[in-house]
Amino acid sequence: MEMDLNAQVKKACFLQRLKDFPSKLKDGVTKRIKHVQKFGKDDPRRIIHSIKVGLSLTLVSMLYYVRPLYNSFGVSGMWAILTVVVVSEFTVGGTLSKGLNRAFATLIAGALGVGAVHLARLCGHKGEPIVLGILVFSLGAAATFSRFFPRIKQRYDYGALIFILTFSMVAVSGYRTDEILVIAYQRLSTILIGGTICILVSIFVFPVWAGEDLHKMVANNIIKLANSIEGFDGEYFPSSEKTSKETNSSVREYKSILTSKSTEDTLANLARWEPGHGRFRLRHPWTKYLKIAGLVRQCAIHFEVLNGYVLSDAKAPQDFISKIQEPCSIMSREAGEALKSIAKSIKTMSRYHVCVNTHIKNSKNAIENLRLALKLSFPETEKDLLEIIPGVTMASTLIDIVSYVEKISEAVDEFSVLAHFKENLDPKLSPELGQHHLLHKGTVKPVLEGDNEEECNNSPHVVIAVHDEQPPTVNENNVNLGAEKTTVVV
Amino acid sequence: MEMDLNAQVKKACFLQRLKDFPSKLKDGVTKRIKHVQKFGKDDPRRIIHSIKVGLSLTLVSMLYYVRPLYNSFGVSGMWAILTVVVVSEFTVGGTLSKGLNRAFATLIAGALGVGAVHLARLCGHKGEPIVLGILVFSLGAAATFSRFFPRIKQRYDYGALIFILTFSMVAVSGYRTDEILVIAYQRLSTILIGGTICILVSIFVFPVWAGEDLHKMVANNIIKLANSIEGFDGEYFPSSEKTSKETNSSVREYKSILTSKSTEDTLANLARWEPGHGRFRLRHPWTKYLKIAGLVRQCAIHFEVLNGYVLSDAKAPQDFISKIQEPCSIMSREAGEALKSIAKSIKTMSRYHVCVNTHIKNSKNAIENLRLALKLSFPETEKDLLEIIPGVTMASTLIDIVSYVEKISEAVDEFSVLAHFKENLDPKLSPELGQHHLLHKGTVKPVLEGDNEEECNNSPHVVIAVHDEQPPTVNENNVNLGAEKTTVVV
Do residues B390 and B320 touch, judged by C-beta distance below 8 A?
no
CA distance B33 to A179: 39
Chain B's closest residue to A177, CA to CA, is B75
Per-residue model confidence (pLDDT) at position A3: 58
Helix/strand/coil for B463: strand
In total, the C-beta contacts within 8 angstroms joining chain A to chain B are 202
Cβ-defined contact of B58 to A389 (cutoff 8 Å): no
What's the pLDDT at A177?
A: 78
Given an 8 Å threshold on Cβ–Cβ distance, is B49 in contact with A301? Answer: no
CA distance A275 to chain B (A): 25
The conformational region for residue B464 under phi > 0 = left, psi -120 to 50 = alpha, else beta, is beta
Q: What is the DSSP letter of B242?
A: S
A317: left (phi over 0), alpha (psi -120 to 50) or beta: beta
pLDDT exceeds 60 at position A319: yes
pLDDT at A425: 57
CA distance B484 to chain A (A): 26
- Angle, CA of B124, B126 and B130, to the nearest 5°: 100
Question: Closest Cα of chain A to B66: distance in Å?
Answer: 10
Closest chain A residue by Cα to residue B57: A137
User: Distance between CA A452 and CA A454 in Å, rounded?
Assistant: 5
Q: How far apart are CA B389 and CA B396, in angstroms?
A: 10
Q: How far apart are CA B347 and CA B261, in angstroms?
A: 20
Nearest to A389 among B175, B379, B392 (CB): B392
Report CB contact under 8 Å: A133, B301: no
d(CA B22, CA B28): 10
Residue B210's CB is within 10 A of a number of other CB atoms, namely: 26
What residues of chain A lie within 8 A of the CB of B105, using their CB? none
Q: Which of A226, A284, A292, A294 is nearest to A421 (CA)?
A: A284
pLDDT tens-digit profile of A278-307? 889 888 999 999 999 999 999 999 998 888
Taking CB atoms and an 8 Å cutoff, what residues of chain B touch A262?
259, 261-262
Subunit contact A82:B132, Cβ cutoff 8 A = no
Query: What was the pLDDT predicted at B248?
Result: 60
Residues of A in contact with B129 (CB under 8 A): 61, 65
Q: How many Å lie between the alpha carbon of A3 and the closest alpha carbon of chain B?
A: 39
* Distance in angstroms (rounded) separating the CA atoms of residues A143 and B273: 26
A432-436, B74-78, B239-243: which range is least confident on average?
Answer: A432-436
Residue A292, φ and ψ in degrees, nearest 5: -60, -45
Nearest by CB to B172, from A81, A132, A390: name it: A81
B272-294 burial by CB neighbour count: b if 16+ within 10 A, else e?
A: bbbeeeeebeeebebebbbebbe
Nearest to B64 among A144, A164, A175 (CB): A175
The residue count for chain B: 490
Q: Report the distance separating Cα B355 and Cα B339, nearest Å.
A: 10
CA A431, A433, A437, A443 dihedral sign is positive
Query: Which class for A75: exposed (0-12), middle (13-18), buried (19 or more C-beta within 10 A)?
Result: middle
Query: What are the pLDDT digits (tens) for B195-220?
Result: 999 999 999 999 999 999 999 999 99
Distance CA B36, CA B171 (A): 46
Cβ burial of A40 (10 Å; 0-12, 13-18, 19+) is: middle
Query: Which residues, including other chains, have CB under 8 Å from residue A380's CB and lie 6 or more apart?
Result: none
Q: pLDDT-based confidence at A1, cuts 50/70/90?
A: low
User: Is there a contact between B61 and A132 (Cβ–Cβ < 8 Å)?
Assistant: yes
Q: What is the pLDDT of residue B440?
A: 37
A104, pLDDT greater than 50: yes
Cα–Cα distance measured from residue B358 to residue B456, given in angstroms and rounded to the nearest whole number: 9
pLDDT tens digits, residue range A334-370?
A: 999 999 999 999 999 988 888 888 999 999 999 999 8
The CA distance from B329 to the nearest CA of chain A, in Å, is 20
Q: Residue B459: its pLDDT value, please?
A: 41
* Chain A residues touching B301 at Cβ < 8 A: 258, 301, 304-305
Neighboring chain B residues of A148 at a CB cutoff of 8 Å: 39, 46
Q: What average pLDDT does the structure give for chain B?
A: 81
Q: Which of A259, A376, A383 sits opposite B261 (nearest CB)?
A: A259
pLDDT digits (tens, 9 = 90+) for A168-213: 999 988 888 778 888 788 888 999 999 999 999 999 999 999 999 9
Q: What is the DSSP letter of B174?
A: T
Q: Give the mean model confidence (pLDDT) for residues A156-173.
A: 93
> At residue B453, does pLDDT exceed 70?
no
- A457 phi, psi to nearest 5 deg: -70, 155
Residue B224 one-letter amino acid:
K
pLDDT at B426: 52
Average pLDDT over chain A, rounded to an integer: 81
Contact criterion met (CB < 8 Å) for B301 and A258: yes
Nearest to A396 among B136, B164, B389 (CB): B389
Query: In which band, very low, low, confident or very high, does the pLDDT at B231 lie, cut at 50, 70 and 90?
Result: confident
- The per-residue pLDDT for range B403-413, each reduced to its tens digit, is 999 999 999 99
In which band, very low, low, confident or very high, does the pLDDT at B382 lie, cut at 50, 70 and 90? low
Please tell me the class of the B210-239+246-423 domain.
mainly alpha
User: Which residues on adjacent β-strands are paired with residue A463?
Assistant: A487
What ipTM did this prediction achieve?
A: 0.80
Best to test chain B binding among A172, A311, A374 (most B CBs inside 10 Å): A172
Q: What share of chain B is helix, strand, coil (3-state, %, to 5)?
A: 75, 0, 25
Residue of B132, B173, B261 lying closest to A75 (CB–CB): B173
How confident is residue A22, by pLDDT bands cut at 50, 70 and 90?
confident
Which H or E run contains B337? Answer: helix B318-348
Chain B residues near residue A388 by CB distance under 8 angstroms: none
DSSP conformational letter for B74: G
Summarised one tens digit per residue, pLDDT across range B315-371 is 778 888 888 888 999 999 999 999 999 999 999 998 888 888 899 999 999 998 988
CB contacts, 8 Å: A142 with chain B: 50
Per-residue pLDDT tens over the stretch A46-103: 999 999 999 999 999 998 888 888 888 888 888 999 999 999 999 999 999 999 999 9
Nearest by CB to residue B378, choosing from A55, A261, A382, is A382
pLDDT of residue B215: 95
Chain A: closest CA distance from residue B306 (Å) = 11
Measure in Å the smallest separation between the Cα of A174 and chain B Cα atoms. Answer: 10
- DSSP β-ladder status, B462-464 and B422-423: unpaired
Q: Which of B232, B463, B407 is nearest to B329 (CA)?
A: B232
Residues of A in contact with B46 (CB under 8 A): 145, 148
Q: Say if strands A486-489 and A461-464 run parallel, antiparallel, or are unpaired.
A: antiparallel
Kindly report the three-state secondary structure assignment for every residue of A206-271: CCCCHHHHHHHHHHHHHHHHHHHHHHHHHHHCCCCCCCHHHHHHHHCCCHHHHCCHHHHHHHHHHH
B420: DSSP letter: T
Instruction: Taking the CA atoms of A429, A435, A439 and A443 in sequence, report the sign of the dihedral they define.
Output: negative
- Chain B interface, best mutation among A62, A65, A144, by max B CB count within 10 A: A144
**Do residues B18 and B167 lie in contact, with contact meaning Cβ atoms separated by under 8 Å?**
no
B257 and B226 Cβ atoms separated by less than 8 Å: no
Distance of alpha carbon B418 from alpha carbon A335, whole angstroms = 46
pLDDT exceeds cutoff 60 at A458:
no
Question: Is the pLDDT confidence value at A430 over 50?
Answer: no
What values do phi and psi take at B139, rounded to 5?
A: -65, -40
The ranges assigned to domains in chain B are 1-42, 46-204, 210-239+246-423
Sequence-separated contacts (24+) of B245-251 with Cβ below 8 Å: B251/B227, B251/B307, B251/B310
Answer whether A386 sits within 8 Å of B396, measured CB to CB.
no
* Closest residue by Cα to residue B489 from B464, B457, B466: B464
Position B464 scores a pLDDT of 37
pLDDT digits (tens, 9 = 90+) for B119-173: 999 988 888 889 999 999 999 999 999 999 999 999 999 999 999 999 999 998 8
**Least Cα separation, residue B293 to chain A (angstroms):** 13
Give, for B487, the enclosing helix (H) or strand (E). Answer: strand B486-488
Task: Tell me what pLDDT residue A484 has.
Answer: 29
pLDDT of residue A469 exceeding 50, the answer is no
Give the span between the Cα atoms of A73 and A70, in whole angstroms. Answer: 5
Whole-angstrom Cα distance, residue A488 to residue A325? 18
Cβ atoms within 10 Å of A51's Cβ, excluding its own: 18
Dist. CA A300–CA A223, nearest whole Å:
12
Per DSSP bridges, beta strands B422-423 and A486-489 are unpaired
For residue A163, give the chain B residue with the closest CA: B85
CB contact under 8 A, A144 and B53: yes
Q: Please tell me the distance in Å from A89's CA to the nearest CA on chain B.
A: 10
Over residues B40-55, the pLDDT tens digits come to: 888 899 999 999 999 9
CB contact under 8 A, A58 and B133: yes
Mean pLDDT of B226-250: 70
Q: Enumerate the H helices of B205-311 as residue ranges.
A: 210-236, 244-251, 255-258, 261-271, 286-311
pLDDT at site B134: 94
CA distances from A101 to A97, A268, B335 (A): 6, 17, 50
Q: Which residues in chain A are closer than 8 Å to B102, comparing Cβ atoms?
A: none
pLDDT tens-digit readout, A368-400: 998 888 877 777 776 677 788 888 888 888 999
